[in-house]
Chain A
C-alpha cells in the first residue's frame, strides 16, 4: 500500500519538481530507508528493484532508478547497523526513536547521498558535464533529506497523539 502511494506521489508530483532547475526530490527511497533490520537481504533487494522499476516505467527511464535502488538495497542493512546502538534487537525500524535524532539524520544523509550519486551517474552516462552532475546530486540530496525528515516528523506526531 505504502509502495503504491509513494510511487504515485513520486511520478505525479515530485518528478515535476525542479527547484532552480536542478533539485528533484526522490522520495520513493523512503520506503527502503524504513525497512527494519529483520528483513532478509534478498527481500530487501527485491523490494528495491520493484520500487525502482515502477518509478522507471512511469518516468521513461527504464533501468536507471531500478539499478540505483537495487544498489542501495544492498547497502541498507550495513548502514542501519552502522548507526544503531550495538545492543539493540534485530527487528528495529530505523527512525528518530530507535536510533536517536543525530544518528538517524546522519543515516538518512549518507543513504540518500549514495543513492543519488548512483542515480545521477547512470542518468548522466553520456554527458561529460560533471559540474551539472555534482550540483544535481548535492541539491537533490538536500531536498530529499529535507522531505524525508518532514514526513518522519509528521508520522511521529501522529503516533504520539
Chain B
C-alpha cells in the first residue's frame, strides 16, 4: 500500500498528462459531433469581444473597395430590372407579377444583418464568427449570404455571437442546382482552393456545360431557391463514375467578407417541422 502511494506521488504528472489529453480529445470529438459546445469556440463572449474590437479596426481598410463593388452591382441590377420590364412590356404582360413576387419575398424572408468578426480561408476546416447571436434571432441551421452569393450555414450560437460553417469547410454540404436545367447536386469543398468548390452527384444524363450558373435548390430549407452560388468551370466524372462532378467557381469572395445577412425564413420552419413529423412517423412504424 505504502509503495503504491509512493508510486502515485512520484509519477503524478503522468496521470495529470493523461487526464489533460483526455479532456483535449473529448473537446475535439465533441465539437465534431454535437452542437452546444459553443463555450469552447469563438462564439464565447471573451473571444467574441476581442475579435469584434479587432475587426472594427480592420473593416475600415476595405470600405473603399466594398463601396466600389456595391455601386457596380447596383448599376448592373438596375439595368437588369429595366431590361426585364422592357421584355415584359413587349410581351404585353402586365407588371403585376413583379410587384407581387417582390412582396412575397420580403414577407416570408427576413434578413438579419451581421458583421463577420473572424474569418479564415486557409485551413482544412474554416469557420466564420458573426457578431449576432440568439438574442438577435440567429439560430443554428440558418443560411448566411452576402451581396454576391451563398456564404454558409450557422453552426453554433451563443447569446451575442455565432459560428458559421462556410462553404470552405469539409463538413458543409449545400443542395444546389444548375439554373437552366434544374439538375441538382450537393456542393462540397475539397479543402484546398478557397475560390472553387465541387458540385457532386449530378446525374450522368444531365446536359451541362462550362459557364452554367449554379444556384441554391431550395430543397434543403436552409436557403430559399435561386440564390447565386457560382459558375461551372470544369466538368469531370466522379471517382465512382456514376455521376458528374462540376468544378464551380464560387461567386463569394471569402477572403473579403465583411457584412453578411442571416436568412430567417418563416416558411422554411413549416417545411422543417413537416419533415420531422414524417421522420418520426417512419421511426414509430418500424
Interface residues of chain A, those whose CB is within 8 Å of chain B, are 8, 11-12, 15-16, 18, 21, 24, 40-42, 44-46, 48-49, 52-53, 56-60, 62-64, 66-67, 70-71, 73-74, 122-124, 126-127, 129
Contact = CB atoms under 8 A, between A and B. Distances in A.
Nearest to B15: A42
Contacts of B27: 56, 62-63, 66
Nearest to B194: A21
B1 interface: no
Given A62-B31, A124-B124, A67 B17 contact: no
B124 A123 contact: yes
B13 A62 contact: no
Contacts of A127: 124, 191
B188 to A, nearest CB: 13
A18 B122 contact: yes
B50 interface: yes
B16 A57 contact: no
B28 interface: yes
B232 to A, nearest CB: 25
A74 B23 contact: no
Contacts of A57: 40-42, 44, 46-47
Nearest to A74: B17
B163 interface: yes
A63 B54 contact: no
Contact of B24 (A11, A58, A59, A66): A66
Given A60-B41, A62-B37, 4 more contacts: A16-B120, A58-B50, A70-B21, A71-B21
Contacts of A45: 13, 16-17, 20
A128 to B, nearest CB: 11
Nearest to A123: B124
Contacts of B50: 8, 11-12, 58
A3 to B, nearest CB: 14
Contacts, number: 88
Q: Which of B24, B26, B28 neighbours the largest number of chain A CB atoms within 10 Å of its CB? A: B24
Contacts of B170: 126
B12 interface: yes
Interface residues of B, number: 34
Contact of B21 (A8, A64, A67, A126): A67
A42 B23 CA distance: 16
Interface string B20-40: 110111111111000001001
B127 interface: yes
A16 B101 CA distance: 43
A126 B190 CA distance: 12
Nearest to B13: A41
Contacts of A70: 17, 20-21, 24
Contact of A60 (B24, B42, B122): B42
Nearest to A43: B13
A66 B30 CA distance: 14
A146 to B, nearest CB: 19
Contacts of A42: 12-13, 16
B41 A63 contact: no
13 contacts: A41-B13, A44-B13, A53-B40, A58-B42, A58-B51, A62-B41, A63-B24, A63-B28, A63-B29, A63-B31, A70-B17, A71-B21, A122-B28
Contacts of B191: 127, 129
Contacts of A18: 122
A148 to B, nearest CB: 22
A46 B28 contact: no
Contacts of A74: 13, 17
A124 B192 CA distance: 13
Contact of A49 (B24, B40, B44, B123): B24
Contacts of A48: 20
A48 to B, nearest CB: 8
Contact of B28 (A44, A64, A71): A64
Q: Which of B12, B20, B30, B54 neighbours the largest number of chain A CB atoms within 10 Å of its CB? A: B20
Nearest to A52: B24
Contacts of A122: 28
